[in-house]
Structure 1
Amino acid sequence: MSETKFSDAKIALISLHGLIRGHEPELGRDADTGGQVKYVLELAKELGQRKDVSEVELITRQIFDSRVSDDYAQVEEQLADNVRIIRLPFGPKKYLRKEALWPYIEMFIDQALIHFKRHGLPDIIHGHYADAGLAGAYLSRLLHIPFVFTGHSLGRVKRERLMANASNAANIEKTYNLTQRIEAEEFALETAAMVVTSTNQEVEQQYGIYDHYIPARMEVIPPGVDLDSFTTDPVDAEKTPIVQQLNRFLREPDKPIILAMARPDERKNLEMLVKIFGESERLQEAANLVMILGTREDLRDLPKSQRKIIRHVMTIIDVYDLYGKIAYPKSHHPSEVPLLYRYVTQTRGVFVNAALTEPFGLTLLEAAGSGLPIVATNDGGPRDIIANCKNGLLVDPLDEKAIEHALLRILTDPEKWDEWSKNGLEGAREHYAWSNHARRYLRDLNDILSTSPPPALASPANRRQIPKFDRMIITDLDNTLTGDDEALHELIEMIKANPNVGFGIATGRPLASAKKLIEELNLPMPDFLDIAVGTELYYGKDLVLDTSWRNQIGYQWKRDEICEALSSLPGFYMQSDDHQSEFKISYEIDKSKAPNLTEIKRTLRQAGLKASVVLSLDMYLDIIPVRGGSEYSMRHFLYRWGFAPEKVLVGGDCGNDEGMLKGRTLGVVVGNHSPELNRLKKWPRIYFAEGHHARGIIEGIHYYQFLDNIIIPNDSVDEQLVENQS
């Protein structure tokens, strides 16, 4: 049982993309700075007010870019006494769209480990969206800290929608990296102790299509609304700049307002709304239409997809000659949004969200909290909101007449308008206050923490098992150190001549086999020995076992059941006993007969088994525990003994080395590497040597000037990689 009392709990919220700051968040500035940013900020602030939470950290990306405010370069921003934003640098300094962040997730993980080492481990890690889901789940597995996941939107759902409207699957994949995103979501779902969702429909129709969907882990906890900001307090129109902006567009500004507020996205169905208004004389007589489409300085600078939507809207306005009847200001201040809702309520108007799909709909809650009746799409969150608040009408987003009639009913029935307005105010406070969300959230976290053992790395090691080296060289054994005796001898002498440099080996071989080969090669016994694909760790000549790693590695490991699940697959051949170990099952596979990696993983998932699958040299397949693998074991080693990743050179040649090559360490791929590593050729801090075997490691040592004042020339690869992915 955990020794952590929930009153002492520290919560780490991770949200990596978009622009996050506490004061005047730039919501709607771009596709990545919207509802999720608002959600994590308000969740962090609310949790910080609870007596049973000691500290909340909202961890995001540090950005240095002249195109955005210097606020995003600040390492820390205090939101409350015990709540702060932490910005960690990873990847290029400039602002990136979320699809371009994937190559740098391991860098974030390494930075987060450094942060936790300095400031203490959290008790809960909560990842938001797929990118932070991947990073948070990885940190959870490594540190053995319970993990919570909120997807916000999901890759499988997006792929289905995009494929239904387009035929070029390759372009969709190139633009959105959906395969990587979906695999990250599966990884997060597999790891999560709890998945926080907004609606039952989201659980059943979205999470339900994932291999790692486990209904018992799903918790429907609707987001809250800031009821201090969204009120019915009167607005002085003449002294309110946003109202004056609207009035510049409108011939009859005293009419009720139909308000739509959404970033320009094809899912939001904005063009249809303008078309409905343009074709309805009754709507034009009854009200003005106001479209708040994010903010823009120059339309030409917007992403192509957003620019296209706004130009379509403007074209429809022109076709129906709606000038003087519709307002579409180019920008607004975030603090003006509550004023806008209140003003529209004063005009006895209506808020409309006719999006094609709507996972939740925070704007609907803001309207409800302002006493503004709503018309909303009959999908996802709006169903629950209107069922709870009884403050408006649901419509089919593709039925133009239904949308027109719903808007007219609210605008022309004063008694129903009053009823819906009153219901919205009461329902928002009863069902969607942030205090209610936090209470249910913390109740569930308390259940998780009460059954979770304390993290092994929360306690310092009893005594240091390795000398205090200045830096470390860690390499694979087979095909990296073997194959060139002359170069290997030169490498050994180089390490011996630098006593400040530690030497480590990471190999897929079990202990007896690894020791035998080390002796045959006349290698010194390594200071750090990582064997059996990162499932066992030993230190020094006496091979002292890392018991903290050993005690955690067997989490949910079911060796016999895994063997049984894979026994019927074609092209699978069990390797000999000397390649097997307690936490490693090794096969040779015939790729012409065997299923691909995705299908192998799915077989295990569908059998309810948790395991990692590692393919090397296109023929050697290892199945290990979810907490195993050289990428985890090496970072465990660095964290436990305080090594900076920038002072660790890692060398390898095949697929089971990939995890430890990525990140903030200095990677070297030898010239005789297997094809599966080619995908890392443009990744930062991974050098592809021309020299084979140990000669390639020596080449990498010189490339980084590793034995002198270390340099990292391939950090500049970042910019090229981003351009290729953008």
Structure 2
Amino acid sequence: MMRPQSPRYIVLISIHGLIRSQNLELGRDADTGGQTKYVVELAAALAQHPDIEQVDLITKQIIDPKVSADYGQPCELINEKANIIRISAGIDDYIPKEELWDYLDNFADNTLTYLNHQPRLPDLIHSHYADAGYVGIRLANHLGIPLFHTGHSLGRSKRKRLLASGIKGEVIENRYHLTRRINAEEETLASATRVITSTQQEIQGQYAQYDFYHPENMRVIPPGTDLQCFYPATGDEWQGSVWQKLSVFLKEPRKPIILALSRLDQRKNILGLVRAFGTSPSLQQQANLVVFSGTRDDPRDLSSNAQAIFTELLWAIDRYNLYGKVAYPKFLSSQEIGELYRLASLSQGVFVNPALTEPFGLTLIEAAASGLPIVATEDGGPVDILKNCQNGYLVNPLEPQDIAAKISKILGDAQRWRKFSQQGIHNVRRAYTWQSHVERYMEVVQSILNRTESRQELAIARRPALYHQGAIVSTIDQNLVGDPVALQELVTLLNQHRKEIAFCIATGRRLDAALKVLREHNIPQPDVLMTSLGTEIYYAPQLTPDRAWSNHINYLWNRQRVVDLLGDLPGLELQPKPFQSAFKISYFYDPAIAPSVEELKRILFKNDQTVNVMFSFGQYLDVVPIRASKGYGLRWFAEQWEIPLNRILTVGGSGADEDMMLGNSLSVVVKNRHREELSDLNNIQPIYFSEKEFAAGILDGLDHYDFFELCRATGQNHD
């Protein structure tokens, strides 16, 4: 790396929250999370670099009796070369970041005054979060110096999460001022010389939602981990408290440990790991499985979704007769988590992250630092981590055989295990410490300041609206899938319009099964997945479940009562477990001997079961809550995302798709599905029946409605 002509002066800006050099009040409120810890540690670590003269971490001055007087001090030393500088924003009170927008120009002016009174101007400004980006743009442009930016979280992603929690768009705007935040983020992306992220997935999955997305100006610099907490085994772990907690579960507790740590969340796919272990007798001979899924006292106190996953976990243990082979402790302290990693390493085990998607994967770094080889999902941050650490294998999280085979491959070869263990320990110290973070950071800084690299200029215009102008909603089987050539043409078109038109899947499949088919056919992850006949809704990029939708459809739903009422009727047979879900009961239906669908409805209604009964393909019968269906899910999503139904194109064919395609949406039936349950609607509903098959029929439907031009024109009129 080329040495600088003189040591550098760097300014970090992080405005909101409570920032001081010691005793950070992490978790006090929503503004005192990981960002405050990150910027203080970054400032301290940068100051240790020999090419740094001074680091100023600039934040808002707070003079408020509700918080410590520390936050009112104009200057605080972090170390001999790093300071926390507190600048007035024109209001002394400690207020939430959402209320700071009206004071940011005051803060920028006062910060400019401070910088102009320094012996020299900074070489670079690095803003953290959207509010600091707003200020950083103004300072960098006025002073003519480069601007780096780190988003930490993004407004577009947050809006999707808030909508998924059930908060209405108008309430979100009034409470969080997301329009101002997103506009500030767009302006920052358009102006920043470099955007610093933690993973490549963050670039592709989150920043790609923005108009001024320009990946050539983005650099991945992974965060550091605390090597004081996570380090190789010492040998004492066999006598520790964790060993005692695991021993009560296991017949042969000295076997190697297959370790997984995660929340009880469907996206974490712990059941996929249990299935991989349970269906592999050889793996059960090699090792024990240990799953820690968070502290619990009484499982009945867990959320309904967590309860459902925990119940399925217990069922899977019973189904595969894994008693004495699986441990699932109720409680581990933060100190014991490090001990758990070391114990697994001492046993010559493996750490597994089988998540359907994983934004970063901090547990993988902790495991690697502890000497554990890893097996991890090929979706998201683990790709970067495995590339850097070279200490394990990536797997398809939807293929239990792949998971089992890769674990067994490590456990069955002592030489490979030692190689992966040593490489993990070494490469975490190389790539995932604060020292390694700062070394990479300074390489990026010097490349800009020494002019060996420049910012790639972009010619991108803002789209007319902040959010999607329309949506395409399709089922999978016999619509998307069936013609690979037409599918590829459709995927190209979807990618071209991804920022204006949402891509959605509505399917009877469960989430894991739907994702498996999409990946097999190289179909990009949808913005929205409505699975299990619309009873579950997930939002990209992190497959965030819509909890508000789950609460909404739970109204009057009594799953066990429905199963009991239909259990003894002829011609009805429950489908296998993978086709069932918390809000969907699926049967094989034999019309020759079973009661009619209308009779089944009468039986259920007569017994006070207000449900939706769906019949499709002449042989499948599904029962879901009365408030649930693909059509209800579509309208819920449309309302949450503020997309009019007449700008949503739906593609289906079976009876389960009917209410999704009726009403004001623009609907298409492709030729190969003309003879299915929706054929009668040709006379009563203006559905377009294409003469082309599979994805070619969808393309034909888009042309028929001139869909993209319609959305563009109505979007402009709406603005």
TM-score, normalised via structure 2 length: 0.50
Higher RCO (CA 8 Å, separation ≥ 6 residues)? 1
Q: Give me the TM-score of the superposition, normalised by structure 1.
A: 0.49
